[in-house]
Amino acid sequence: MLACGACSGVSVAHTTVNGVVAGQRQRASGAGGGAGGGANRGGPARAGSASGRRSTGSGLVEQAGPPEGHLRRVAGGVVLLRDQVDPTAVTTPRPGVSPSAWRPVDPLPAAEPAGTRHVDVFYTPHPDDETLSMGVLIAAAVGRGDRVIVVSLTDGRTTGAVTAIDSQLAAERRHRPGTPPTLLTEDEVAAARIGELRRATADLGVAAGDVFLAHLDGGGTDGGGVVTVAEAAAVIRAFAARYPGATHVTMSDAAERQQDHLDAGVALRQLLDVGIVTAAQWTVSRLWWQLPVPRWSWALPTPADRSRVRRAALEYELWNPADGEYAVGFHSVRWQFAALAEDVRDRVHGTGPLVAGAVPTR
């Protein structure tokens, strides 16, 4: 029987939501805000309109409201409730039209000389999934001495979180008369999210040159604002050719309902089935942990891994509009970040032995 939408999922030990580490810059929390210092590097909002924004077109989008869940105190801890989620809902993969619809804008990361490090390539559909759902795996791979490459399939430019961010900016303007009206453009949102991704992956131990942007939600791509299976497969094919024998990791093809997540997972499954890739793992976002998947395990962090993941998560809370930092991840899926802060682990299924620290449960 499928779990009901209001069932609890994550048993955690504490109730602190956003109080893990105090950073130098202000983090978005509650009435958060405050311009903070720092030079203007051209990214902050300017007067403009909301034109250029798009809906993702998918049934489920990462956005500020309605929230995807909330935390509730229970005896012994806190649980993440997902009463906005219908577990019986089905998302259908979007096949896309052409496997050659994608060409890299930037050169792929450097090749790895044969016989040196094992390579793990993580495909994060949006900036934040690598931390929210793959953070333990990434930290563990770095800890093993693997070469870790993170590919962001999208820039996350179509997030509905801009509504909440614009509201936050408007609230700040009321305290600073004379500040021009502000609505973020898609390019500004994308730049902020990529900044969050780069800081978070650095915290996880990934080399800056091994973070790659596929821009699948850019103009003129196969799926427009969403990822298609064909697009994701084209990206994975390129990396499979460049890193023979690598392990490829993305979101689950079996227990995801977010369109971009599911399409990436299905693409990886197809390439595994035809032998283009030989080692594949999928992770499940905690929003869908109640859905069944075969032969899954928890990837559990070492204390060092846990620290890295929590530090990475904080990058998505940085609020400093003067520097183009808008805490997009926090405004997008704040309850998932809240749950992650309390319960750092990944739900994983895939081929071969799972990472060190994983505890097979089925």
Contact 193, 215 (CB under 8 A): no
Q: Whose Cβ is closer to Zn ion: residue 126's or residue 157's?
A: 126
Q: Whose Cβ is closer to Zn ion: residue 129's or residue 323's?
A: 129
Smallest gap from Cβ 210 to Zn ion, in A, equals 20
Smallest gap from Cβ 260 to Zn ion, in A, equals 6
Q: Whose Cβ is closer to Zn ion: residue 129's or residue 231's?
A: 129
Contact 293, 305 (CB under 8 A): no
Smallest gap from Cβ 201 to Zn ion, in A, equals 15
Nearest alpha-carbon partner for 287 in 140, 12, 67: 67
Site size toward Zn ion (CB under 5 A) is: 3
Q: Radius of gyration over alpha carbons of the chain, in Å? A: 19
Smallest gap from Cβ 74 to Zn ion, in A, equals 27
Smallest gap from Cβ 62 to Zn ion, in A, equals 5
Considering only residues 42-81, where is the footprint of Zn ion by CB under 5 A?
none
Q: Whose Cβ is closer to Zn ion: residue 126's or residue 311's?
A: 126
Q: Does residue 215 bind Zn ion (CB under 5 A)?
A: no
Q: Whose Cβ is closer to Zn ion: residue 126's or residue 193's?
A: 126
Nearest alpha-carbon partner for 185 in 95, 297, 54, 310: 54
Smallest gap from Cβ 2 to Zn ion, in A, equals 22
Considering only residues 102-131, where is the footprint of Zn ion by CB under 5 A?
125-126, 129
**Site map (CB under 5 A) of Zn ion, residues 127-166, x = contact:** --x-------------------------------------
Question: Which residue is nearest to Zn ion, using beta carbons?
Answer: 126
Binding site for Zn ion (CB under 5 A): 125-126, 129
